[in-house]
Structures are given as structure tokens and as C-alpha cells.
């Protein structure tokens, strides 16, 4: 098995489960003294309007969620690497997690038509440990 970087990767999408996953990943990365790569995947067909407008909405959602989480964590937050990419969520997350020591995702919402959820695909395919955080972990 390849040596791991210590990097912690977390996927966010604006959902309650991804907010919990981000908070969990901030704490974990800090405890490991590791950088945290925060990943948000988007696709123009999922967002109405032009491609540029879709990218802008994805960027704003990412910045809002990330800045709130880092402010909540405080001045001892780990180094954060921002990664907003167009593409299928599981594919983008698995690609970002290749060199990582840990991948953190929010608990899956029910996938449509019996398809595998993003978190299920990450658990099945990641080459590093995966933590799936439920939406109510902090309660």
C-alpha cells in the first residue's frame, strides 16, 4: 500500500450531513496536525442557468459553508485546502482522496432509482479509510 500523506479530505454539498462532516473533519485534521482538503463537486446540469452562473453558485455555497465552519472552529483550525471542481461527486472525492490518509463524507441521502449513494461509493472504492458522518452527530 502506498504511503499516505496525512491529508484529511472532506466532501461538502450544503446538506446538514455535509456540515456535520466538515465540523468532524476540522476536529480530526487538527488532532492529526494534518491539512484538510475541503472538496465541493458541482455540475452545470444540476444548477439552473449558464455554466458561469452554476460555477458562481457552487463557489458561493462552498465559501459560505467553509467560512462558517472555520469560524466555528476558531483560530486553531488546521490548514485548509479549497477544492471546488466540476464533476460527479463520488469521482471528484475519490480522486482528491487518492493521496489522503482519511476521507470524510456526510451520511448518504437516498440515491434515486436504487443507485449507489456518494457515501456508499466512497466506502466501497476509496483506497484510504472513510468516515461517514450522520447529520445529527453533534446533537
For residue 1, pLDDT over 50 is answered with no
pLDDT at residue number 104: 97
3-state helix, strand, coil in the chain (%, to 5): 45, 20, 35
How much is the pTM? Answer: 0.84
Band (pLDDT 50/70/90 cuts) for residue 14 is: confident
Residue range 52-102, pLDDT digits in tens? 777 777 788 888 888 888 888 888 889 999 999 989 999 999 999 999 999
Residue 25 in grid coordinates: 473533519
Would you say residue 139 has pLDDT above 70?
no
Amino acid at each position: 500500500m502506498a504511503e499516505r500523506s496525512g491529508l484529511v479530505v472532506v466532501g461538502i454539498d450544503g446538506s446538514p450531513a455535509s456540515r456535520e462532516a466538515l465540523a468532524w473533519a476540522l476536529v480530526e485534521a487538527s488532532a492529526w496536525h494534518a491539512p484538510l482538503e475541503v472538496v465541493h463537486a458541482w455540475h452545470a446540469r444540476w444548477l439552473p442557468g449558464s455554466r458561469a452562473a452554476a460555477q458562481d453558485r457552487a463557489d458561493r455555497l462552498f465559501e459560505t459553508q467553509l467560512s462558517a465552519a472555520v469560524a466555528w472552529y476558531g483560530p486553531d483550525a488546521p490548514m485548509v485546502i479549497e477544492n471546488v471542481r466540476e464533476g460527479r461527486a463520488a469521482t471528484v472525492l475519490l480522486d482528491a482522496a487518492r493521496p489522503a490518509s482519511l476521507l470524510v463524507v456526510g451520511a448518504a441521502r437516498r440515491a434515486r432509482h436504487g443507485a449507489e449513494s456518494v457515501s456508499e461509493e466512497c466506502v466501497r472504492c476509496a483506497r484510504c479509510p472513510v468516515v461517514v458522518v450522520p447529520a445529527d452527530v453533534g446533537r
